Structure 1
Amino acid sequence: MTDIWEPHAPAAPSATGGLRPLYAEGLDLRVSGAGTARAVADGVVEVTVEATPVADGDVRIEWRVPCVDATALWTPEPRGTGWLPAAWSAPRRTGIAAGAPIAALVGTGDVAICAFAAERPDVLAGAGVVEETGEFRFWAQAPGRLTVRIDTSRRHFARCLAGLAEWWGTAHRADVPEAARRPAYSTWYAMHQDVSQKAVEAQAALGKELGLDVIIVDDGWMTADRTRGYGHCGDWEPVSLPDTAAHVRRVHELGVQYMLWYALPFIGKNSAAFERIGRYALADAGPMGAVVADPRYPEVREFLVGRLARAVEEWGMDGLKVDFVDWFARADAPEPGPGADCASVDEGVERLLAELRRRITAAHPDAMIEHRQPYVSPALWPYVTMIRATDCPLSPQENRQRTIDVRLAAGPVPVHADMLTWHPVEPPEQIACHLINVLFAVPQVSVDLAALRPEQREALAFWLGVFRAHADTLQLGELRPARPDLGYPMVTATGPDTVAVARYAALPVDAGGDRWRTLLVANADADPDVRLTGGSGTAEAVVQDARGRVVRQGEVELGRDGAVVAVPRGGLLTLRRA
């Protein structure tokens, strides 16, 4: 696949040279090769182009829309949303191990001026403002054959993205066990590499009391080294968790499910595995102290799958946290040598993950697998049960934006927050705000639960209870985030009879419509005055503070002029009507 990118150059004629116009209502559309365009819904066009015998193997689809009232370009990559790039900006290369071929140009009122997705995962895609014309240009290219869906229906951008993800779902099915949607405890920020059986079992017991049904043991279990490197990855022997099966049984007796971390691609230079398969290196991971294994070789895939599957098959684990998959996509792959059976790294990665999923679900049908942003491709849905936002410790706004971005492209797969952590003297109001910022994801918590002060514990228990009680609405309801250009200062999820709103700025809350019997308003802003607009009649109101204590209750009159209800920072307003 050939990159087409000229930094700081204009939208050069060469970028459209060799492309021919293709009719599609409302679009300035051009394609290479033999192309077709058909309407699949109002404002939604599906375009397919195939290489011709004289082409160089790549096909390209390019289209432009007027850049009028535009506010942001949305993508699912970390820090990918909130600005309008220039047409000469570097394109995004997506593949099975990194990114997802989807984007949306968002306009005033949160409408999608234009959203698109590609059917295949391995796409080079560009998007940006054409300085000479004031248009916004999109293009996508891939080898051989390419199909994209382009949505100019001007619906809410989240609804357009949901429709594109649903289209993906016809080709990529995901099986999600119930436990993948339950709040979890992670050892990473709380312990880093200093894990032990005693510490894990203690946190699992405390977490279960608070509503954390899963524990994820991160780095450190496979080595006595505590220098934070990856030189000991690859052997995956439970150095810090001896008699592992008995230890896992004790955690299970607490009613907690157990997942174990693996840095899948890394073969540490200090490991015995390096002597065995280190010669099959896709790339050197440099300061990581490891090489990236080349999944194009069956010997490599067999070794990695065998090492990881032991956790479920022999030790009784309930799943795996599979980390660093995106490193497979970071290197320019050398030509494969004798013994390789895959033409591309992507093909090798897919075979590796498919075999891993097959092995562990054969031993445990509800086994879980966690992946992490940025490897969010829909082609991975059959091999994953949860996707976590990439690391952003102690950054509530970043965690909010990343979880919402991933959710908009994750289809049926649960999205987990990056692990929540905080300073030991953090007030309960701020702990509540950490949780409210990831209200529409599955929370993971990573602090020493034994060191929590009573008021911190109350805040954590209260909000975990909200997550659990309203999981169907928060995780499966129709998601409507507002203002991606401002980092989503308000997010709404609508279920069959419950609407949940999280307020991160002093914005009014729409209490209108007839879809709710229960309206939840979580306030993460310092301004306590929550103004309710729309609606009519009365509703019973209960206001709780960050610790779940009721601070006021009574009837609220809903009306055109709006009612104002004082909700403390970190608190929750619950409205109920007949």
Structure 2
Amino acid sequence: MSETVDDIWEPHAPAGAGGLRPLGAEGPALRANGTASVRTLADGVVEVSTEGPGEVRIEWRVPCVDATALWTPEPRGTGWLPAAWSAPRRTRLAAGAPIAALVGTGDVALCAFAAERPDVLAGAGVVEETGEFRFWAQAEGRLTVRIDTSGRHFARCLADLTAWWGSGYTVDIPEAARLPAYSTWYAMHQDVTPERIETQAALGKELGLDVIIVDDGWMTADRTRGYAHCGDWEPVSLPDTAEHVRRVHDLGVRYLLWYALPFIGKDSAAHRKLGRHALADEPKLGAIVADPRYPEVRDFLTDRLARAVEEWGMDGLKVDFVDRFAHADPPAAGPEADCADLDEGVERLLAAIRRRVTAAQPEAMVEYRQPYVSPGLWPYVTMIRATDCPLGGQENRQRTVDLRLAAGPVPVHSDMLMWHPAEPPEQIACHLIDVLFAVPQISVDLAALSTGQREALAFWLGVFRTHLDTLQRGELRPARPDLGYPVVTALGAETVAVARYAALPVDASGAGWRTLLVANADADPDVRLVGGSGTAVATVQDARGRTVRRGEVELERAEPIPVPRGGLLTLRRA
């Protein structure tokens, strides 16, 4: 798009129609410019398309009745109702995803929508003059949006919208991308050495961590946390790299290596080679953002990253800072560029990297991170991680749940879990329960764990692995996005998993489950089951996995079952 957000955003202007023409009489009040059409797909679900020269725009409104939150997949994007004059969201291939939902009482979607293309400017908010909720989306040349006002659970509506996205992509996910991982970042920061990495890999394997992700510091002896040394990507801190990787593999652990993909540091030899192809200057970081519209840039970066898998035998890449490519107003491409569109250059670069690493290792993994969560990136990624929130359990919970609702078939990873050395086992268990419906990443010194901490970590990692299908592939039903998801449920074939983060009752209804898991992350131990029938055998384990109670319970009775904070209630019926 040629315009910036500031060009279009008029915070004091009334929420008028802006010259758009009405479309049909059914469903939400729709307006569009260009050559527009509306197609009904199901009860309460329509697809609106328009095209024309220049910017095209679709706008629609619904009554803002019983509304509680606007859901979006951005960090801190859920839990309030913006005004119609709030700044719009601009999504691109490398930043954000064009999807949102107005959620009402009972967690129903009053209106959910997604756009077919990744590069969209979208606004949403309450119209002060009418009490309606206005949505609008615009793009260059053509635009298709799906609008769902069916009134179903908002997660069901979002699942259908992401399935619509997924029908256009081939996504290949190795099973290892769903296994708990160890990350060096919070535990070591830049102080990585082969000995420290191998020690943590060995200890992690014993606890149930099958992947290790080595972060910043491996490519430089500098420890000042800047990016001036990025770009050459020589293993300064990992001598005899291939042999080091082989030793990690001998432990039965897979190995991923971190790259700050866009950055060419000003102290690197690569800067002398590619500095003229700068998309942006980042003086505070000591680097430039390289412009992927140039084949020379793409070839260089692809060779640098693929080397980890092709030469050193690693199992994949942690590709960081891709969102730094997402400039709304990039400089004009020079004569050496082979594409004028920035998103096209980004996609060519990411496709080349994925192609090279999977040619060398068919099960290679590639990690991306919030906020670059666009479905256009799905073919090039095997997992998406929540953005940094150290020791922020509620943030980690909300971000991983939000990502699950927008990531389609791609596994979602938590931000790395870290804690103070004096953290009690119960709180460590709560950190893990906060990310129960994602893949946990751990980043502490495993050699320094107390016996209780180690037992809590091992127990809950075992829960993640044993119930992986339900927790990661089950139908996700988070409750109350306006309150940060105080209860989250995953529905599997015969197992239902519930995480309880507040003193709220747990729904035990449904004839399909044979196993009901209730993870208690609240200080109130009294778990109240509602809606159940018949009897079940209840097993209660504390945060360290020790059985503290077992016996038969009648599900119809309202008597609470005591479950310690950080503990697990398992109900099994014949």
Q: Tell me the secondary structure at the aligned position of residue 284 of structure 2.
A: helix
- The equivalent of 1:348 in structure 2 is 345
2:421 is aligned, of 421, 424, 447, to 424
Task: Tell me whether 1:270 sits opposite 2:267 in the alignment.
Answer: yes
1:336 is aligned, of 317, 333, 337, to 333
State the alpha-carbon separation in 2 of the partners of residues 397 and 170 from structure 1. Answer: 32
State the alpha-carbon separation in 2 of the partners of residues 375 and 6 from structure 1. Answer: 23
Preserved contact between residue 15 and residue 127 of structure 2 (Cα < 8 Å)? no
- The 5 Å alignment of 1:173-212 reads 173-212=170-209
- The equivalent of 2:44 in structure 1 is 43
Q: Post-superposition shift, 1:562?
A: 2.2
1:400 is aligned, of 391, 397, 400, to 397
Show CA shifts across 1:391-421 (max 9, x none). Answer: 0000000000000001100000000000000
- The 5 Å alignment of 1:106-121 reads 106-121=103-118
Q: Post-superposition shift, 1:348?
A: 0.4
Percent of aligned pairs sharing the same letter: 79
Q: Post-superposition shift, 1:24?
A: 5.2
The farther-off stretch of 396-405 and 167-176 is: 167-176
Q: Post-superposition shift, 1:10?
A: 4.1
State the alpha-carbon separation in 1 of the partners of residues 327 and 143 from structure 2. Answer: 23
- The equivalent of 2:563 in structure 1 is 567
Task: Tell me whether 1:326 sits opposite 2:328 in the alignment.
Answer: no
Q: Post-superposition shift, 1:436?
A: 0.1
Gaps of 5+ in 2: none
Q: 1:28 to 1:323 in 2, by over 3 A?
A: same
Preserved contact between residue 534 and residue 562 of structure 1 (Cα < 8 Å)? no
State the alpha-carbon separation in 2 of the partners of residues 47 and 332 from structure 1. Answer: 28
Show CA shifts across 1:539-578 (max 9, x none). Answer: 000000000000000001111x523100000000000001
State the alpha-carbon separation in 1 of the partners of residues 448 and 116 from structure 2. Answer: 49
- The 5 Å alignment of 1:405-554 reads 405-554=402-551
Q: Post-superposition shift, 1:386?
A: 0.0
- The 5 Å alignment of 1:16-415 reads 16-23=17-24, 25-51=26-52, 55=53, 57-330=54-327, 332-415=329-412
Show CA shifts across 1:227-281 (max 9, x none). Answer: 0000000000000001100000000000000000000000000000000001100
State the alpha-carbon separation in 2 of the partners of residues 26 and 295 from structure 1. Answer: 43
Q: Tell me the secondary structure at the aligned position of residue 537 of structure 2.
A: strand
Q: Tell me the secondary structure at the aligned position of residue 208 of structure 1.
A: helix
Preserved contact between residue 523 and residue 568 of structure 1 (Cα < 8 Å)? yes
Preserved contact between residue 59 and residue 142 of structure 1 (Cα < 8 Å)? yes
Q: Tell me the secondary structure at the aligned position of residue 539 of structure 2.
A: strand
Amino acid at match of 1:11: P
State the alpha-carbon separation in 2 of the partners of residues 383 and 563 from structure 1. Answer: 50
Q: Post-superposition shift, 1:41?
A: 1.3
- The equivalent of 2:11 in structure 1 is 8
State the alpha-carbon separation in 1 of the partners of residues 94 and 439 from structure 2. Answer: 23
Preserved contact between residue 540 and residue 556 of structure 1 (Cα < 8 Å)? yes
State the alpha-carbon separation in 2 of the partners of residues 136 and 299 from structure 1. Answer: 47
The farther-off stretch of 445-454 and 19-28 is: 19-28
State the alpha-carbon separation in 2 of the partners of residues 423 and 24 from structure 1. Answer: 59
Preserved contact between residue 186 and residue 418 of structure 2 (Cα < 8 Å)? yes
State the alpha-carbon separation in 2 of the partners of residues 209 and 486 from structure 1. Answer: 37
Show CA shifts across 1:55-78 (max 9, x none). Answer: 4x1100000000000000000000
Show CA shifts across 1:304-330 (max 9, x none). Answer: 000000000000000000000000014
Q: Tell me the secondary structure at the aligned position of residue 458 of structure 1.
A: helix
Q: Tell me the secondary structure at the aligned position of residue 467 of structure 1.
A: helix
State the alpha-carbon separation in 2 of the partners of residues 345 and 237 from structure 1. Answer: 28
Q: Tell me the secondary structure at the aligned position of residue 288 of structure 1.
A: coil
Preserved contact between residue 10 and residue 131 of structure 1 (Cα < 8 Å)? no
State the alpha-carbon separation in 2 of the partners of residues 150 and 487 from structure 1. Answer: 25
Q: Post-superposition shift, 1:173?
A: 2.2
State the alpha-carbon separation in 2 of the partners of residues 122 and 520 from structure 1. Answer: 41
Q: Tell me the secondary structure at the aligned position of residue 532 of structure 2.
A: coil
State the alpha-carbon separation in 2 of the partners of residues 333 and 58 from structure 1. Answer: 18
State the alpha-carbon separation in 2 of the partners of residues 562 and 408 from structure 1. Answer: 32
Q: 1:12 to 1:483 in 2, by over 3 A?
A: closer
Preserved contact between residue 81 and residue 485 of structure 1 (Cα < 8 Å)? yes
State the alpha-carbon separation in 2 of the partners of residues 436 and 399 from structure 1. Answer: 10
Amino acid at match of 1:350: E
Show CA shifts across 1:83-133 (max 9, x none). Answer: 000101110000100000000000000000000000000000000000000
State the alpha-carbon separation in 2 of the partners of residues 449 and 118 from structure 1. Answer: 44
Preserved contact between residue 533 and residue 563 of structure 1 (Cα < 8 Å)? no
State the alpha-carbon separation in 1 of the partners of residues 62 and 368 from structure 2. Answer: 35
Q: 1:207 to 1:24 in 2, by over 3 A?
A: farther
Q: Tell me the secondary structure at the aligned position of residue 129 of structure 2.
A: coil
State the alpha-carbon separation in 1 of the partners of residues 8 and 433 from structure 2. Answer: 41
Preserved contact between residue 120 and residue 146 of structure 1 (Cα < 8 Å)? yes
State the alpha-carbon separation in 2 of the partners of residues 74 and 286 from structure 1. Answer: 35
TM-score, with length taken from structure 1: 0.98
The farther-off stretch of 155-164 and 3-12 is: 3-12
Q: Post-superposition shift, 1:6?
A: 4.2
Show CA shifts across 1:41-61 (max 9, x none). Answer: 11110000010xxx4x11000
State the alpha-carbon separation in 2 of the partners of residues 11 and 71 from structure 1. Answer: 23
Preserved contact between residue 283 and residue 331 of structure 1 (Cα < 8 Å)? no
Amino acid at match of 1:19: L
Q: 1:24 to 1:470 in 2, by over 3 A?
A: farther
TM-score, with length taken from structure 2: 0.99
State the alpha-carbon separation in 2 of the partners of residues 423 and 85 from structure 1. Answer: 37
Q: Tell me the secondary structure at the aligned position of residue 227 of structure 1.
A: coil
State the alpha-carbon separation in 2 of the partners of residues 181 and 330 from structure 1. Answer: 32
State the alpha-carbon separation in 2 of the partners of residues 172 and 433 from structure 1. Answer: 36
Amino acid at match of 1:28: A
- The list of structure 1 runs, each at least 4 consecutive aligned residues, that deviate by more than 6 angstroms after superposition, is none
State the alpha-carbon separation in 1 of the partners of residues 566 and 170 from structure 2. Answer: 37
Gaps of 5+ in 1: none
Q: Post-superposition shift, 1:7?
A: 4.4
Preserved contact between residue 213 and residue 318 of structure 2 (Cα < 8 Å)? yes
State the alpha-carbon separation in 1 of the partners of residues 431 and 18 from structure 2. Answer: 50
Amino acid at match of 1:328: F
